[in-house]
Amino acid sequence: MTVLTVAPVPPDEIFALTRAYNNDDYPQKVNLSAGVYRTNDGEPWPLPVVQEAEKQLREDNNIFRHEYTAIEGDIAFLPLARDLMFGFDSQASSEKDAATKARIGTVQTVAGTGANHLGAIFLARHMKPRTVWLSNPSWANHLTIWELAGVPRKTYPYYSAATRSFDFRGMMSTLESEAEEGDVVLLHACAHNPTGLDPSKEQWKSIIDLCERKSLFPFFDSAYQGFASGSADEDAWAVRYVLNEKPQMEMCVAQSFSKNFGLYGQRVGAFHYVLNDGAQDLRDTVVVNLCHLIRGEYSMGPTAGCSIVKKVLTSPELTAQWYDDLKTMSSRIISMRQALYDELVRLGTPGTWKHIIEQNGMFSYTGLTPLQVYALKDKYHIYLLKSGRASISGLSPKNVTYVARAIDKVVRNFN
């Protein structure tokens, strides 16, 4: 008789915390664990532009809306995703743009997670890197994805606990001395998860120069384009710098539409492989091999969410409205960072808290210890990751004072 041998694995921390939060009946409970946007009332916010797109799609009543698409995804969606990521203007395409676009192979994926996974198994099979370098810390799922791809993982320093800042010197020193030719370096395009700390443009240039000089392969994870700063162009700066200023470098990009369109459950994403200039003839071969992997996993990306994105990005009016919605989300998160910081300063909470307003994007690496995090959960029903990562979108004018006072109390108790 065949006996299944399987060992337990630890539950996903974020989903476990969300489940605990949902089962908590305390009236002042606060969820700072889930990476989803919330309004000032703590409610989900279907973007107004998404609701308008859904309305138009219902009116269109496209009889083909439930049909199969191509293995590489919705054919009309692919160039829209590419152009948004890399900054091409579909209304003013030049010969140079056409040559650059020919370097990029694009397929639709099951959101950003699927794009990361597809990229990892594609590189594991065809590039066979000895190591993938992940930031320490990084999004926990990066560890799982590359483990499942069978690529050995190492980490480069990213966060300085002493200063609560980006450890640029540590990152550069480690990659310079230890990374080897052909290694993959996983880079967060903007709004680093979980720290909220991003390199400056000058630091990005140094990081990319190092990758070029040592023949390291950059793998960008772009989960927050437009959501972090309110500008889709600003949040794609590092990716576009490599494309336009380093034409002899290859790279790939995992692109998610979960945060910037609020399509968390629709699973809309894309994976882009960028060939070096002169290797355009290989693009179709790259796409065919990506499709081979897609076919064996999920056959093609889901259509409902990408139809919404497609409707928005093909309408100048809806695109303009989307940009306004991005500003609404990013500005609310910035205001909540400021409110939390101001209240902690007003309370005289021990320690320094300026990092909260120096970080950007959805998350803040608060600097709270696991014991302090557990105390926040057990005594005050405030849920955040044991690393101290807090989702700023869970703050609102209604709870930020309560959260700040709870942090003040636990910090004082553990000082």
Q: Are 403 and 341 in contact (CB under 8 A)?
A: no
Told to judge if 139 belongs to the known catalytic residues of this protein, a careful annotator would answer yes
Contacts of 194 (CB under 8 A, 6+ apart): 137, 138, 139, 363, 365, 385, 387, 389
Distance, CA of 211 to CA of 189 (rounded, Å): 15
- Copy the structure tokens of residue 88: 């091409």
Told to judge if 221 belongs to the known catalytic residues of this protein, a careful annotator would answer yes
CA distances 108 to 163, 212, 224, 379, Å, are 40, 28, 17, 44
H helical segments located in 102-248: 111-126, 140-148, 168-178, 201-214, 237-245
Told to judge if 324 belongs to the known catalytic residues of this protein, a careful annotator would answer no
CA distances 146 to 132, 179, 215, 254, 297, Å, are 8, 17, 20, 14, 17
Phi-psi region of 381 (alpha: psi -120 to 50; beta: other; left: phi over 0): left
Three-state DSSP state, 383:
strand
Distance, CA of 223 to CA of 35 (rounded, Å): 11
Distance, CA of 268 to CA of 401 (rounded, Å): 36
Write down the catalytic residue from 45, 133, 139, 353.
139
204-211 long-range Cβ contacts below 8 angstroms, 24+ apart: 204/237, 204/238, 204/241, 205/241, 206/168, 206/172, 207/171, 207/172, 208/238, 208/241, 208/242, 208/245, 208/246, 208/249, 210/172, 210/175, 210/176, 211/175, 211/185, 211/249
Distance, CA of 31 to CA of 68 (rounded, Å): 38
Peptide bond preceding 350 in cis form (omega within 30 of 0) = no
Instruction: Name the residue among 185, 184, 193 with its Cα closest to residue 222.
Output: 193
Instruction: Name the residue among 247, 248, 253 with its Cα closest to residue 123.
Output: 253
Write down the catalytic residue from 259, 310, 311, 377.
259
Write down the catalytic residue from 83, 167, 221, 235.
221
HSE-CB of 104 using CA atoms within 13 angstroms: 30
What are the residue numbers of the active site?
A: 139, 221, 259
